[in-house]
A = this chain, B = another copy of it.
Amino acid sequence: MPTDSLPKQVEIWEVAPRDGFQAEETWIPTETKLEIIRELASTGLKSMEITSFVHPKAIPQLKDADEVVSQAGDLNLKLRALVPNVRGAERAINVGIKKLKLMLSATDSHSLSNANATARDAQQKLWPIADLAAKHGVSVGGSVSVAFGCPYEGKVPLERIAAILTRYQEMDVHEVSLADTTGMANPVQVSQMLRYLNQEFPEMRFSLHLHNTRGMALANAVAALQEGVLDFDSSIAGLGGCPYAPGASGNIASEDLVHAFHEMGVDTGANLERLIEVAKNVRDRIGHDGGSYMLQAGPNSALHQKPVSQSKLG
């Protein structure tokens, strides 16, 4: 893996304000959310999944989506928002969101659990959103949840993913995030899937949404880099747990991903030092992190003072 075979620059989508906050049961005041979003905007990260326009009863934590977006509109950030239905898309477009994100599950079991519809039924419901977005000149990205493994059904056949991508293509959606929602992917699988999909869907741009549930998120990110993926989701302080594994690590932490990429010579546009500072602040505000190595050990660059002479191992 010579450095010159990897991309020189990638885009990091910060997803804590959606995927991270959504996992918090305790109400985070709108002003705190906005403080965190403003701090994130100060790290050099330029792209953010800022909220989900979901029904307030389904996820009370995100009931302030409209206000959050309105207040964050003046920040120098590329914003996208998750929209589960037409009503959500209307709200998002109404407050000025220029990029909507759709979500489909790779399996019926996960789709039923998450969207109360089979995978096929859920797909049908997305058409009116795509039409609405087209009418307003708003761009649409897609995503495939549990693309690498489903907590109910296990491994997902590649044909299943291909079928979903075909539906997205029909909807004129050409950017799709492959989500390892419960951290079941491995690097060999990531490589094989991307090779297959890049061949079958040469006009699609794929991004990766990784969870570190089983410690493989960074290895999967590297496998994706090697296959030319240029967009990655991550979450400050690793916020965003996995509902199927309480207490386990959440989304790959932005500061861990940025640290690893920079160490490998891949630029992210972020200032790592500032990012770690913000991660600390976020952990303090929220009361915990979701598994962040930088918050435990610090970056490689934080060296210790040289010893003169002392025996430890004899």
Interface residue ranges of A281-314 to B (CB < 8 Å): 293-294, 296-301, 303-314
Q: Is the CB of B298 within 8 A of A58?
A: no
Q: Which of A3, A114, A312 has the most CB of B within 10 A?
A: A312
Q: Is the CB of B191 within 8 A of A304?
A: no
Residues of chain B lying within 8 A (CB to CB) of residue A154 = 300-301, 303
Residues of chain B lying within 8 A (CB to CB) of residue A85 = 314
Q: Is the CB of A307 within 8 A of B112?
A: yes
Given contacts A191-B2, A219-B219, contact A303 B245 (CB under 8 A): no
Residues of chain B lying within 8 A (CB to CB) of residue A310 = 112-113, 116
In the complex, which range does the number of interface residues on chain A fall in? 35 or more
Other-chain contact of A186, B215, B226, B247, B260 (Cβ < 8 Å) = B260
Residues of chain B lying within 8 A (CB to CB) of residue A244 = 304
CA distance A143 to B192 in the complex (A): 34
Residues of chain B lying within 8 A (CB to CB) of residue A200 = none
Other-chain contact of A188, B54, B264, B297, B303 (Cβ < 8 Å) = B264
**Binary contact readout A110-150 vs B (1 if CB under 8 angstroms, 0 otherwise):** 00111110000000000000000000000000000000010
CA distance A15 to B311 in the complex (A): 22
Least CB distance from A234 to B in Å reads: 12
Some 15 contacts from A to B, beta carbons below 8 A apart, are A1-B187, A2-B192, A55-B314, A58-B311, A84-B313, A85-B314, A116-B314, A151-B304, A184-B300, A214-B256, A214-B294, A215-B215, A215-B218, A215-B256, A218-B219
Query: A residues within 8 Å of B by Cβ?
Result: 1-3, 6, 52, 54-55, 57-59, 84-85, 103, 109, 112-116, 149, 151-154, 183-184, 186-189, 191-192, 212-219, 221-223, 226, 242-245, 247-249, 253, 256, 259-260, 263-265, 293-294, 296-301, 303-314
